[in-house]
Amino acid sequence: MRCLVPAYWSGETGIGYFATTGNTATESLNGKLALVYDAACWKNALHLQGVHTTDQGETSA
């Protein structure tokens, strides 16, 4: 089957950083990426997301 409508790319990105200090110290970094390839015959989507956090020197991801 041949697609008669041209395909297009779309997407979004995001990044964030949050830090607090005082009695405790916390840092958090997050990011995301979303891409979409949309054609009349099919649609492909990719979603990536990650978070990295440090609280009192202990790291979690």
Q: What is the pTM of this model?
A: 0.69
Find out whether 51 and 29 touch, Cβ atoms under 8 Å: yes
Residue 36, number of CB atoms within 10 A of its CB:
14
Domain boundaries defined on the chain: 8-60
Distance from CA of residue 61 to its chain's centroid?
A: 14
**Averaged pLDDT, 41-58:** 90
Using the predicted structure, report yes or no on whether residue 1 has a pLDDT greater than 70.
no
The whole-number average pLDDT for the span 24-40 is 93
Q: State the DSSP string of 7-45.
A: PEEEEEEEEEEEEE-SSS-EEEEEEEEEEEEE-SS-EEE
Which of the four pLDDT bands, split at 50, 70 and 90, describes residue 61? low
pLDDT at residue 30 tops 90: yes
**Contact by Cβ (8 Å): 56, 25:** yes
